[in-house]
Amino acid sequence: MVNLIGTYEAKADAKGRLLLSVALKKQLAPILQEGFVLKRSVFQPCLEMYPMSEWNLMMAKVNKLNRFVKKNNDFIRRFTAGVKVVELDSSGRLLIPKDLQAFAGIEKNVVLASSVNIIEIWDKEHYEKAIDDATVDFADLAEEVMGNVIDSEDEIS
């Protein structure tokens, strides 16, 4: 499993290419040759970049869905809408396809934010707004999500 750390800023050029920071490229070095999958986020106006190994794990879960259930088929269609396989070019740049740029509202200033095993790619203004909006009730959310987690090794929460 991939565990990514950090938030990085980049600038998109006129063609939608991003030059990844050295620190992020170092983390991605062991998996660069695999390539990545870029898709629309389900919950936010951003993109999600999955290392190919993580995408394959996600697709294994999706493939367990019964396609004779309409909701499942609708979910699969929407979840995979606009999905693209991407790689870094020889200069270490990532090309964001135009349709995905439009979905995320990416113009020039971009934030690449690690989210455990994927990287979220945001227009900087949208990212700052999402973080500001989430700050208000983050303490309540943290308590609700993590408050009852028990460490199985020592049974202390």
Domain positions in the chain: 7-121
pLDDT mean by block of 10 residues, the chain; 157 residues? 88 92 89 93 94 95 95 94 92 93 94 94 94 75 80 54
Task: Put residue 88 in one of left, alpha, beta given phi > 0 → left and psi -120 to 50 → alpha.
Answer: beta
The pTM of the full predicted model, rounded to 2 decimals, is: 0.86
pLDDT of residue 140: 81
Neighbours of 120 (CB within 10 A): 19
- How many CB atoms are located within 10 Å of the residue 99 CB? 11
pLDDT at 157: 45
Q: In this structure, are residues 84 and 38 in contact, taking their beta carbons and an 8 Å threshold?
A: yes
Pick the CATH number of 7-121 from 3.40.50.2000, 3.90.1310.10, 3.90.1300.10, 3.40.1550.20: 3.40.1550.20
- The predicted structure's pLDDT at residue 156: 47
Predicted confidence at residue 144, as pLDDT, reads: 84
**For residue 39, with 0-12 CB atoms within 10 Å meaning exposed, 13-18 middle and 19 or more buried, which class applies?**
buried
